[in-house]
Amino acid sequence: MSTQIHKISRTRRICKSMVIIALFLSIILSLIFSIKPCSQTTQILFPNFDLNTLKNTQTTPTNISHIVFGITGTVETWHAKKHFIESWWRPNVTHGFLFLDESPTQYLPWPPTSPPVRVSSDHKGVPYTIRMARVVQETFKAENRSARWYVMADDDTIFFLENLVNVLRKYDHEGYYYVGMNSESIISNTWFSFDMGFGGAGFALSYPLAEALANNLDACLNKYQNLRTSDHILRSCIADFGVSLTQEKGFHQIDLHGDISGLLSAHPQTPLVSLHHLDAVEPLFPATYRQQSLNHLMKAAKTDQSRLLQQSICYHHPKNWSFSLSWGYSVHIYEKTLPSSFLQLPLQTFDEWQKGAQPAFMVNTRGLSMDPCEIPHVFYFYSVEESGGGGRRQQVVTTYVRRLPRHLPPCLVNGNHSADYVDKIIVISPVKRLVTDGSRRECCDIIQVDKGNSTTIKLRPCMKYEMIG
């Protein structure tokens, strides 16, 4: 009998201890989630505990619903520029507003294919640069419930949304981030700032930074009223918050003139996020109108944005040919074995933003010599399709065709191996999304050269110790 009483007493003590432990843990957890992450109490109680890490594991990855666009434009130019926005805007998916200088009565009823329109609140008698700067404040006030990022742009900026989301996903939206890129033109950066996100290329502000700007914009506008552009005003104000530009090379201002095919055929190893000033350069594809050319590029983007314009280089040694592929845009064949470091330099098919400005560009370029060993046969994107069996995507097939003859003799350095007969290039790529951060450019193999007038290339991951060439 005494043994049973002892067992019952022991059980009660264990239960009482468990209750006390549970109460203690509940108090600790309540302290963790009620104390600010940077408070002194948290550091005393838990010197190695990072609440931000816990919070970040509980939040969903950034997606398109977390991004709010603030786009500036004018009624006068809207008709000529609306196709730029409508090429990437997704009704009921993208969020944001187009801010015009006055009511677009001549365009009513407003089409659902364009962003919701708003009239800037202080446009009369206010300089255009001030109105554009206020769009940050107006966008924040209009939509701040589930936003993580505010992306500012012009009405002729083109975005590639999946790539934009994947770029912003890398950063903590609860931190102070100003993400964008400067100009390709040295003189543009000299006029304004090398540490400025150009608004034509578009730039992104994390929620805390957008909130800080919205609450202090009047003071910033007064302080920097003599600056020439809204981008420069905002950049100066952001600097006053102690925040610098985080550069992402996929944002493109395109402060260039002429044919930018040389630039697009040697894109840096980073996702293509935006293009601007497409009305100031030649159409992206020869023998097309600008709008038609943009729509054609978007066909490739719709299938695989992660690979769009990503460069791969491979060789066909029996003929001493070098291939440079810009996925979804172009393929170049050189009748000579040229190193990757050379082929990664853009051909200078384009002109300076201000004629005669030297040095002109923020990137090294290759000149357009008349040497047939260094001038490529150029093939432009023609079509894209997905192939596979049983209703499953297994690979993506893009086709590139010759639009213009080369009009040069063959390269005779290693024998006469002219590529003049090639009319079409077929590229086979994986369905899996391409990851560029911390990765290598995709390798490729020439799997077919002389079938009719076509050549076939297959993209693949590079092997561990493989060197291109």
Residue 73 has pLDDT above 90, yes or no: yes
| Rounded Cα distance, 204 and 172, in Å | 12
pLDDT tens for each residue of 112-168 = 999 999 998 765 555 777 878 899 999 999 998 889 999 999 999 999 999 999 999
Our count of domains for the chain comes to 3
What is the per-residue pLDDT for 294? 97
CA distance 33 to 25: 13
Are residues 392 and 247 located together in one domain of the fold?
no
Type of residue numbered 175 = G
Q: pLDDT of 291-304, one tens digit each?
A: 999 999 999 999 99
Task: Identify the domain boundary among 39, 58, 77.
Answer: 58
Q: Are 27 and 85 contained in the same domain? A: no
Beta-bridge partners for 427: 398, 457
Distances (CA, A) of 419 to 251, 335, 383, 400, 450: 35, 7, 21, 15, 10
pLDDT confidence tier of residue 404, bands split at 50, 70 and 90: confident
Angle, CA 182 vertex, CA 218 and CA 300 arms, to 5°? 115
170 & 237 share domain: yes
Confidence of residue 36 (pLDDT cuts 50, 70, 90): very low
pLDDT exceeds 80 at position 234: yes
d(CA 369, CA 17): 85
Cβ–Cβ < 8 Å for 337, 314: no
What is residue 390's predicted lDDT score, i.e. its pLDDT?
Answer: 59
Average pLDDT of every residue of the chain: 88
For the segment 412-432, what is each residue's pLDDT rounded down to a tens digit? 988 888 999 999 999 999 999
**Domain range enclosing 19:** 2-58
Residue 263 forms part of a structural domain: no
CB 401 within 8 A of CB 379: yes
Say if residue 73 is in the same domain as residue 191.
yes
Quick one: 331 and 402 in the same domain?
yes
Q: What is the CATH number of the domain that holds 423?
A: 2.70.130.10
Residues 25 and 120 in one domain: no
Contact 375, 368 (CB under 8 A): yes
Same structural domain for residues 105 and 48? no
Q: What is the pLDDT confidence band of residue 49, given thresholds at 50, 70 and 90? A: very low
In this prediction, residue 357 has a pLDDT band, given cuts at 50, 70 and 90, of: confident
Task: Establish if 258 belongs to a structural domain.
Answer: no
pTM to 2 decimals? 0.85
Q: Is residue 287 part of a domain?
A: no
Enclosing H/E stretch for 460: strand 454-460
pLDDT score recorded for residue 40: 40
Classify residue 288: in a domain, yes or no.
no
In a domain, 239, yes or no: yes
Same domain, 216 and 83: yes
| pLDDT at 105 > cutoff 60 | yes
Burial 401-427 (b: 16+ CB within 10 A, else e): ebeeebeeeebeeeeebbbeebebbbb
* pLDDT at residue 53 greater than cutoff 70: no
Same domain as 350, residue 438:
yes
Residues 72 and 51 in one domain: no
- pLDDT number for residue 459: 97
State percent of the chain over pLDDT 70: 85
More confident residue, 26 or 223: 223
Type of residue at 137: Q
What pLDDT, in 10s, does the model give residues 361-377? 999 999 988 899 999 99
Q: Looking at residue 43, what is its pLDDT? A: 39
Is 7's pLDDT higher than 50?
Answer: no
The answer on 20 and 155 residing in a single domain is: no
Let me know if residue 275 belongs to a domain: no
Check whether residue 169 and residue 206 sit in a common domain.
yes
